[in-house]
Structure 1
Amino acid sequence: MLKALGIISLLFLCLSLSSQTNEGNEFWFGFMEHIDINNNEKVVMITSKFNTSGRVSIPNRNWTETYTVAAGQVIVITLPDLTENIGSESFDNTGVQVVSDLPVSVYIHQYHQFRSEASVVLPVNSIGSSYFAMTYQGVYNQGQDYPSEFLIVAVADETIIEIELSDRIKSGKAAGEKINITLDKGETYQVQAANASGDLSGTYIKGDKNFAFFSGNSWTEVPNGCNARDNLMEQMYAVGTWGKKFVTVPSAKMSFDIFRIMAAENNTQISIESSNGNVENIILSKGKFVEKRYSSAKLIEANKPIQVGHFIVGSDCGGYSIGDPSMLMLNSVTQTRDTVTLFNSRLQDIQENYINIIAFTSDIPLITVDGGGIPNSAEIEAVGADGLYSFIRLEVRAGAHTIISEGCGVIASAYGYGPAESYAYSGGASFNTINVNPIPDGGCLNDTVFFDANLPEERYSFLWDLGNDIIRTDRSFEMYYDELGSFPAMLIITDDCIGTVDTFNKDIVISLRQGVETIGDVMVCEEERFELGATDVANASYLWTGPNGFLSEEQFPEISESELSHNGQYSVVGIVSGCATYPSISNVDIFPLPNPDFNQDVFYCNLRTEIFLNPGDFETYQWHDGTSDQEFLVDGDGFYAVTVSNEFGCFQEVNISMEERCPTEFFIPNVFSPNDDGINDIWRIEGHDITSFSLLVKDRWGEIVYESMDETIGWDGQFHGKIAISDVYFYELHVSGFRENGDVYEEDVLGTVTLLR
């Protein structure tokens, strides 16, 4: 039991220490429905600081392509049409996985003609389990709705997800209603607004495991009423990585941009500061957003986590001759990185490419672009009244670009314009979980409690005050508690770059280890649903572990369709204020289904012998007519079905469609005498089981004297109502029928027949 508890503690430790950036070794993504359904290009772009290799695959569709990418270069891989998700509330197996030997950055681009969009893809260690969608109202054109939409991509089996809608969707479910689904690894689920006027922004999606989440539009105009349209696509950031401070940067050459600011919690107070010192104050509730048009940079600060979406407007409204709607999610200035490698696309006739960089004004001399200083052509402008931050706007060539800061890091985004099209995406950021109190809930008496601020030591300083004059400055450490009770704890986190200070408080509860019991062992047949269960422990959360990396935090986790691989022991602990109970075990036995097999052709010929169907040796049999013998006599064409059971009491049905196909046989007489003596007066092809028949008879000069499509009708020796002369005639016969094995065949036969009088 002590060993099991140690494994659980190690699991928590490993999860908390994962690094979070847009670089990684494993990624999952999918493509939403495009206006040009199944007629658009879908590519993944992979770049790295290293020479590395890996593979791109659609695991549930058996599609794989390997790749090798050189340091600082980009490899572009085209994906098949089957990766596009179509329709609303539709389950599919179109999740795309990218894996690499060394860390890479991944971007995706979806385009056709004048409709183009791109997105950064986050690695699995930078995604989360709760999101809010941000998208835009759709467009109606020529009798067709092009809706707001979002896409969920599961990265683990048995991921249980709840969706709380912000607007009506195509199935008729309304705002405020919930959808509950379960997805396995690589499965996808797309949801679309009911019509073009709908906007799914603010829809809340949460799961019991991490998953990737994308949102956008199949085709829309930004702002509404602007006659310039494009598809939108962007990966959303998990709520835990949202920030409280953002800088907006205007897009190059556009007269204005649209920004949406969304709150994660009620009573979120937001201030928007212009460079002239003017401040606008806004209060938002959970999942609500405000839309703003800005032509200059703004500094946005909030008292609670927010996310900010940046929408590039269409060329008809943006004051520039090229470009179309595009969207990207902004990164908080607290999520900077010292090195960002991003990719500017030339795909789909993109003609101008740009990079926006945000950094501390004092750090600008410490920034290099592609190994050199900031180009003289760059636009640099301070943001906010105090000018603490600045943005740098560069026009760049298409391809990979690397930005390095020797200061407190940068935030970067890439975008580009073409004739009636554009793309935009975040070029990279850290995705540290900064909105969760890192102080542990507590632990068990006479056991250690693990503390971890879960932020990089290179940028942050930590001060832990655990009472009784216990002060620690480590990022992570363990403490031993030998007394029951509640102990106040405080953590002060200082961002050494920004100078901001966040203070967290919590009472750490040390309690006696309790016991938990399972509701019993499980015995089910393969493909059946089963449920695990733990007894109630007051104020407990639960953690289940099991075969094949099974993890669940539900008290009663459910497997909707069992597999033989689910066999084994499932262990559960209840966790009360950080103190895990003693584990309890449920044994799960999944019994295999019987495998009936008629093991014979679907064709038969009763002319030769009686045919009996036999599915094999089993415990019981139930045929479609209610009989229960092992064998069943085939008595005609049609479907035959039997349900069998095995020694475990598991049932399986199998059916077969039988069709009578006797081998085709025919005989061609070579002489006949149409003299009305009642003997051999008609020349006829004799045969059976002929499926098609075509016969021509010609005289020696090539003139057709008789033709027929029916083998039951013969030639009476007349031509145009007159008696044909005695002679040798030539026939051309085309027959189709069945071979001995039931295969269909066709045959042409040429020959002669003699007419005698």
Structure 2
Amino acid sequence: MGKTILFIGILFFFVCPVVADEPEDLCHYSTEGQDFWFGLMQNRDKGNDHYLEITVTSRIGADFTLTYGPNEMPIGDGSYSVAANDSRTIQIPFELLESKGSENTEGKGIHLQASNPVNVYALNYRTQSSDVAVIYPTKSLGTEYYAMCYMPPQVGSNEKNSEFLIVASENDTKVTITPSVNTAGGKTAGIPFTISLSKGQSFQVQSLNNNITGQGDLTGTYISSDKPIAFFSGSKATPIPVNGNSYDHLYEQMPPTSTWGRVFYIVPLASRLKDTYRVLAADDATVVTIEGLNLIITLNRGQYFEFELDRNQASRLISTKRVLLAQYCRSQNLDNSGVGDPFMIILSPVTQKIDDVTFVAYESALIQDIFYINITSLTSEINHIILDDAPISSQYIKAFPKGEYSYARVPVSKGTHRLYNDNKDGGFLAFVYGFGDRTESYGYGVGYNLDIQLDIEGDIKDDTLVICKGDSYKLDAGDYFINYKWSTGETGSTIVVTKEGWYTVIASAPSGCTKSDKVYVKVEDPKIDLGEDKVACYPGEIILDAGPEFEKYLWQDGSTDRTFRVLETGDYSVTATNERGCNASASVRVSVFDPVFSQNYEVASVEHPAISFFNETENSVGFWWDFGDGATSNEENPVHHYSAIGKYRVVFQATSKFGCADTTSSTVKIIPFTLSTPNAFRPESEIAENRVFLPITEGIDPEKYHLRIFNRVGSTVFESKNPETGWDGKMKNGTLAESGVFVWIVQYADVQGYAHQQKGTVMLVR
């Protein structure tokens, strides 16, 4: 069952919030009042034990009247009274005032007027499907709302629509509705439509119910009006989440967007495995941080995000702009406790604390001894919270992982309880709930201080907004107010800032409420210091460090570490980004002293054994060469003549002007240089090497070789550019050459590129 309150045979909580040290004014209203307009949404009707109840509590006692509709028809006797620190319940047939259907204007708005401040609670009860809402007084109503509901199951029986209800508190009220999904009455998602209501009239909207394609979730529907209205949303009946096998009526009064908050502390329900939550945004580009999940999301206007927290995941939620936060109890088949069913609680931001409340727990046949109150306050105040004349036991108190708040989940017994802060400047947030056998449960906030918020939005921490040098930022005071005056002299709801300093805004609301807020804008210009250009001695190394104050790093080679290991000479650069998104860049030249030399020949012939060596080391001032044949030199670029064939290891040592000294080495090979030829050959010889004419070479460049054979009249009979291909005695046309003497010429280059030519004669024998 959903949240429930006092009536015969059923157990519920009732609360009387008191804010002793913060008197109500044009900007600050509690849920206690003397004039109320409200209504009740449609519950799933099964024709058994279905009725409505209105419960009134008072700290000092009051007379009150109950009427409904534009003509203010009396409910029951019409006039009632409630004693001090007591409650009075009036039961109403559901057929009289429960809203019916979708997009029908009905005269079912309920009006309560009291002689003294009271608190009002409304219940729609049906066996195993009930819910209760704390009712806001007329002075706390607004003109802009969003619906918070839940997704109906994709398939199943009818009567599980999401829904919302509008009640007019004044005549000639124009209300514009932009549904987030198609409605049961035929309105199209995203297309605004306008209705006109008189005081006391109500207008209910339900989602389209289609068991094949699934029913819609009206969460995110936008409501605006030209006069204050009461707005309620929830569900006719729904499981939570959609795969739950049991369902309940959801019914909550929605606070106007002007009272939404940016900082919430979430306390999971006691004895449950996990809870479901939804956060809903009223503005584009709303950045929400859910610290318990290490999750950051961005929502636009009317969008929501659903998440779950385990029973021990108490968490802070922070938003850059105003949001609405709902906590849902899940269907009992998804929990191991075997008790309870869906209900929805609208959670209060930290700006809505109260300091004194009286609540009563009444038992029913199904809820007898499982009751809790969740309490949140500043850690410095938690020991000042008094429950039934005793401080909260330390066994129930835990600190939130982040922030300055603590919480307690305290079991309570049936009956009347008082919760207050004995520090008159302190406060707390609290909600109560109970579980019964299988499908019985309820929960709701004990009361709120609806504080109209003027909050300069942005990525603000401790009243400081950090922007990057060269950037601009738009400070937004919201659109609820009608007059604005900034410290810059500007009068719009937003200003664009680029300079560091304090910025203050004073704004007035249509109600006459005047608020002020200020923020310090800090212009951040981060720097990276890689130092002056550096020199390292090979094989040493240099570590470049961009500093610890950044979150992201990008070096010239694409690496992303904070430090960079330099092994060779070059230019090195890094761009780093800090937690605010501000960038800094730096570069440095690093010279690594690594001895390097070159030589004009690695292989030389004995005919040309002179090798030139060249120093290529930067910043070197001293030189020493060992040519491998016993000779040395101190010249920078020496020439050395080798006198014998062989392989020589050349060692070079360079000394830099920075004091670095190191060596490197290379190899030089001096090879023979010869070309010899036979003086005769016979192609028909039994010895293979005698069958062709082939010059024997050593130390030549095979790419620069050309052999030609001429007959006695000077005609070319054969040529080859491959030193491994000789003449087999055939003419160019393939015929056999006759025996005789032939002239040969070989043109070639040695390995160093020097050109040579030799010629002679050869006898062809047949």
Q: Give the shorter-chain TM-score range.
A: 0.5 to 0.7
Q: Structure 1's 211 and 342: CA in aligned 2 closer, same or farther, altered over 3 A?
A: farther
State the Cα distance separating 1:347 from its structure 2 match: 5.4
Which residue, out of 329, 342, 345, partners 2:346? 329
Distance 1:151 1:270 in 2: 28
Distance 1:200 1:311 in 2: 16
Query: Which residues of 2 match residues 446-485 of structure 1 at below 5 A?
Result: none
Distance 1:416 1:217 in 2: 20
Which residue, out of 423, 438, 441, partners 2:442? 423
Distance 1:128 1:242 in 2: 12
Q: Structure 1's 251 and 174: CA in aligned 2 closer, same or farther, altered over 3 A?
A: same
Which residue, out of 284, 288, 304, partners 1:289? 304
Residues 300-331 of structure 1, C-alpha deviation per residue, up to 9 Å, x if partnerless?
00110001011011111122111000001001
Partner of 1:87: 101
Which residue, out of 69, 75, 81, partners 1:68? 81
Q: Is the 8 A contact 1:61 1:94 kept in 2?
A: no
Distance 1:99 1:348 in 2: 33
State the Cα distance separating 1:344 from its structure 2 match: 3.9
Is 2:336 aligned against 1:319?
yes
Is 2:212 aligned against 1:202?
no
Q: Which secondary structure state, in structure 2, belongs to the residue aligned with residue 20 of structure 1?
A: strand
Q: Structure 1's 353 and 264: CA in aligned 2 closer, same or farther, altered over 3 A?
A: same
Residues 355-382 of structure 1, C-alpha deviation per residue, up to 9 Å, x if partnerless?
1111111101111123432256x62221
Moved more, 250-259 or 142-151: 142-151
Q: Is the 8 A contact 1:153 1:187 kept in 2?
A: yes
Which residue, out of 394, 399, 407, partners 1:382? 399
Which residue, out of 192, 204, 227, partners 2:245? 227
Gaps of 5+ in 2: 1-23, 458-476, 478-484, 490-501, 508-515, 521-766
TM-score for the superposition, normalised by structure 2: 0.54
Distance 2:155 2:275 in 1: 24
Partner of 1:177: 191
Distance 1:26 1:370 in 2: 30
State the Cα distance separating 1:73 from its structure 2 match: 1.8
Query: Which residues of 2 match residues 552-701 of structure 1 at below 5 A?
Result: none
Q: Structure 1's 435 and 259: CA in aligned 2 closer, same or farther, altered over 3 A?
A: farther
Which residue, out of 397, 402, 419, partners 1:403? 419
TM-score for the superposition, normalised by structure 1: 0.55
- Letter of the aligned partner of 1:181 in structure 2? I
Residues 602-646 of structure 1, C-alpha deviation per residue, up to 9 Å, x if partnerless?
xxxxxxxxxxxxxxxxxxxxxxxxxxxxxxxxxxxxxxxxxxxxx
Moved more, 359-368 or 392-401: 392-401
Distance 1:258 1:289 in 2: 13
State the Cα distance separating 1:385 from its structure 2 match: 2.6
Q: Which secondary structure state, in structure 1, belongs to the residue aligned with residue 427 of structure 2?
A: coil
State the Cα distance separating 1:16 from its structure 2 match: 7.3
Moved more, 100-109 or 180-189: 100-109
Q: Is the 8 A contact 1:155 1:186 kept in 2?
A: yes
State the Cα distance separating 1:144 from its structure 2 match: 2.0
Partner of 2:136: 122
Is 2:68 aligned against 1:58?
yes
Moved more, 321-330 or 341-350: 341-350
Partner of 2:410: 394
Q: Which secondary structure state, in structure 1, belongs to the residue aligned with residue 443 of structure 2?
A: strand
Q: Is the 8 A contact 2:454 2:517 kept in 1?
A: no
Instruction: Report sequence identity in percent.
Output: 34
Which residue, out of 373, 382, 391, partners 1:373? 391
State the Cα distance separating 1:436 from its structure 2 match: 6.6
Distance 1:156 1:465 in 2: 34
Distance 1:30 1:293 in 2: 31
Query: Which residues of 2 match residues 481-496 of structure 1 at below 5 A?
Result: 490-491=504-505
Partner of 1:23: 32
Q: Is the 8 A contact 1:268 1:303 kept in 2?
A: yes
Q: Is the 8 A contact 2:456 2:517 kept in 1?
A: no
- Letter of the aligned partner of 2:34 in structure 1? N
Gaps of 5+ in 1: 1-14, 439-452, 454-463, 469-487, 494-500, 506-757
Partner of 2:430: 412
Q: Is the 8 A contact 1:166 1:202 kept in 2?
A: yes
Q: Structure 1's 215 and 399: CA in aligned 2 closer, same or farther, altered over 3 A?
A: farther
Instruction: Tell which has more relative contact order, 1 or 2 (C-alpha 8 A, sep 6+).
Output: 2
State the Cα distance separating 1:29 from its structure 2 match: 1.4
Aligned CA RMSD, in angstroms, stands at 2.8
Residues 437-492 of structure 1, C-alpha deviation per residue, up to 9 Å, x if partnerless?
79xxxxxxxxxxxxxx9xxxxxxxxxx98689xxxxxxxxxxxxxxxxxxx98348
Distance 2:112 2:352 in 1: 24
Which residue, out of 141, 147, 158, partners 2:161? 147
State the Cα distance separating 1:72 from its structure 2 match: 2.1
- Letter of the aligned partner of 1:73 in structure 2? D
Q: Is the 8 A contact 1:343 1:427 kept in 2?
A: no
Q: Structure 1's 467 and 130: CA in aligned 2 closer, same or farther, altered over 3 A?
A: closer
Q: Structure 1's 158 and 401: CA in aligned 2 closer, same or farther, altered over 3 A?
A: farther
State the Cα distance separating 1:182 from its structure 2 match: 0.8
Distance 2:207 2:157 in 1: 16
State the Cα distance separating 1:143 from its structure 2 match: 4.2
State the Cα distance separating 1:41 from its structure 2 match: 2.0
State the Cα distance separating 1:401 from its structure 2 match: 3.3
State the Cα distance separating 1:53 from its structure 2 match: 2.1
**Bigger radius of gyration among the two:** 2
Matched positions, count: 437
Distance 1:281 1:437 in 2: 20
Distance 1:142 1:249 in 2: 32
Partner of 1:96: 110
